[in-house]
Amino acid sequence: MKKEAILHIPMSEYAYALDEDRVVFRIRTGKDDISSCTLYYGDRACRNNPVDFHSVEMKKVAYSTLFDWYEVEFKSIYNRICYYFQLVDNEGECILFYGDSFEKDRSINRSEYFQLPFNHRADRLQIPSWAKDAVVYNIFPDSFATGKGFISLNETSASYNGYSIKGLRGGTIKGIRENLDYIEALGFNTIYLNPIFVAGEYHKYDTIDYFHIDPVFGSDEEFKVLVDDIHQRGMRIIIDGVFNHSGWHFFAFEDVKQKGRESKYWSWFHHLEDPVVVPDTWEEYPKYECFGYERMMPKLATDDPLVQEYFINVGKYWTEKFDIDGWRLDVASEICDLFWINFRREIKSVKRDCLLIGEVWESAGHWLDGKIFDSTMNYDFRRHLLRYFALENINTEEFNSRVTNMLMRYRKQALLSQLNLLDSHDVSRFLSLCGGNERKMELAVVFLMTFPGMPCVFYGDELGVMGEEEREYRKAMPWESVRGNLFYLYKELISLRNRESALRSGSFRVEGISKEGVYIYSRRTEESVISVIINRTGFTYYRKVGNIILQQGYNEGRLEPYGYVIKKGEI
């Protein structure tokens, strides 16, 4: 038995409660090493000694090139659970695994077993129920629309409290509202806006005033009308919260520049030197902590109680007064946990089902234990699909290993609320990295819309927007573009996802792979199964498929290169 491959972590994504009754247990083993895996569990407060154990068989639910994962989900009659695993390998060796030790026999001492001490309601990951059904359209406000079906492409400017603010392409809040029909007709039910508060630059990540809409975009009143219109359509809206840093014209930073250590806001920022000197050019490194080394974005000391109070009030203001439905939280991984714990508590007290999404580019388990965020931006999803579909520099076995890692690294609730994306305002357009090859892009879009989590589409992807540099991938929405294959594919896939509960809340199971590039998987609930075949090869794949819902390149048992099939039922 490959004991070195065996892994179980109590009170983590390997052992957790879904609700008052249902619990999930997982264990990792060596690839193809185990013939059976059984979980034994009992009441850790049992009056009998030794403890009375019950058994339940675990099933292999995922695999990679190195490991297998076994899992069981069941209703437990106990709130306090002690447990162990019985593993049998292909040679017939049987061992018990508990307390991070391999044993031949049970222990009489119940404290030696793995423990789920108590199924506390407050410790469970409780995510707004609407998240798993969300299909998100991400709008970069400056670049989207000035009015219905058009954007002016005019630079805009205004003065705010003596500071110059600007826009680059003419996008407005009014323009977003006048194009809600377009967004809704595509099937999206959630809109995520990049920053809209008063800020100097066109991107609005250098905030000046957190309590007002930027005048180049519109007014607070226009934003309230937008939110109300979105809600009347049964849709939801998520806005950007930039609390890691402010802009250099934020009132508190202006005060420390003027007064130095005498400023009552001195403690609001990191590593200030008196006097506070802002570099004249971007090439110079500032002598105060910033977002990156961007002189216009001084880093806030979010561990400071007054900073916490101020920005929690910002969050409550927009959530309560404007009834927004969620926050996407910028540079979330660089803000202290205590700030987020307090932010979550206060926002949820105002609106229980307000969704909190952290911008975390790496594995985000630390922030998804139920105490901080409901979701994070899944940039790993983009990275893996880029390697597999666009660049084609990993094979299907390696891709599946990466998919498995995404499936197994979080609790199920968090998996279904991950914000999965191909593009955002921070990265080159996926279609550009496909070399403009729409067939590759289509395969990635199929996977996006059929994978667990919230699919998020950056404005214009449906119209084939391309661009590798910042000014290009944030270019104006091409309203005049002909609606091509990508547009209708997005529309059909979103409609399918909205119809089929298996694609929103079902489990993910790999049904077959070939190293060359055929990937077959299913999404399944107890009532329904949706199966998908993706042929990312230069060869025809032969397989008879019936009950087809959507396909590209399939005809009478032949699936052409870069084709796909989505069907109802088992594959």
Q: How far apart are CA 200 and CA 76, in angstroms?
A: 55
User: What average pLDDT does the segment 100-114 reach?
Assistant: 95
Contact 289, 298 (CB under 8 A): yes
CB 434 within 8 A of CB 464: no
Helices assigned H by DSSP within 322-458: 337-350, 379-385, 396-408, 412-415, 430-433, 438-450
Q: How far apart are CA 102 and CA 96, in angstroms?
A: 6
Residue among 89, 214, 304, 330 flagged as catalytic: 330
DSSP for residue 386: I
pLDDT surpasses 90 at 524: yes
Q: Is residue 521 within 8 Å of residue 531, measured between CB atoms?
A: yes
Helix or strand run (H / E) with residue 509: strand 507-514
Calculate mean pLDDT across residues 261-270.
97
Amino acid 405: pLDDT: 98
Bridge partners of 164, per DSSP, are 159
Give the number of other Cβ atoms within 10 Å of residue 320's Cβ. 14
pLDDT single digits (tens) 183-234: 999 999 999 999 999 999 999 999 999 999 999 999 999 999 999 999 999 9
- Its pTM stands at 0.97
354 has pLDDT over 90: yes
Give the whole-angstrom CA distance, residue 524 versus residue 540: 27
Q: How confident is the model at residue 468 (pLDDT cuts 50, 70, 90)?
A: very high
Question: How high is the pLDDT of residue 214?
Answer: 98
Q: Which of 359, 374, 462, 500 is catalytic?
A: 359
> Per-residue confidence at 515, pLDDT binned at 50, 70, 90?
confident
Q: Exposed, middle or buried: residue 287 (CB in 10 Å: 0-12, 13-18, 19+)?
A: middle
330 is catalytic: yes
Let me know how long the chain is: 571
* pLDDT tier for residue 516 given thresholds of 50, 70 and 90: confident
- Respond yes or no: is residue 359 known to be catalytic: yes
- DSSP letter string over 124-144? S----GGGGG--EEEE-HHHH
- Dihedral of CA 425/427/430/436: which sign? positive
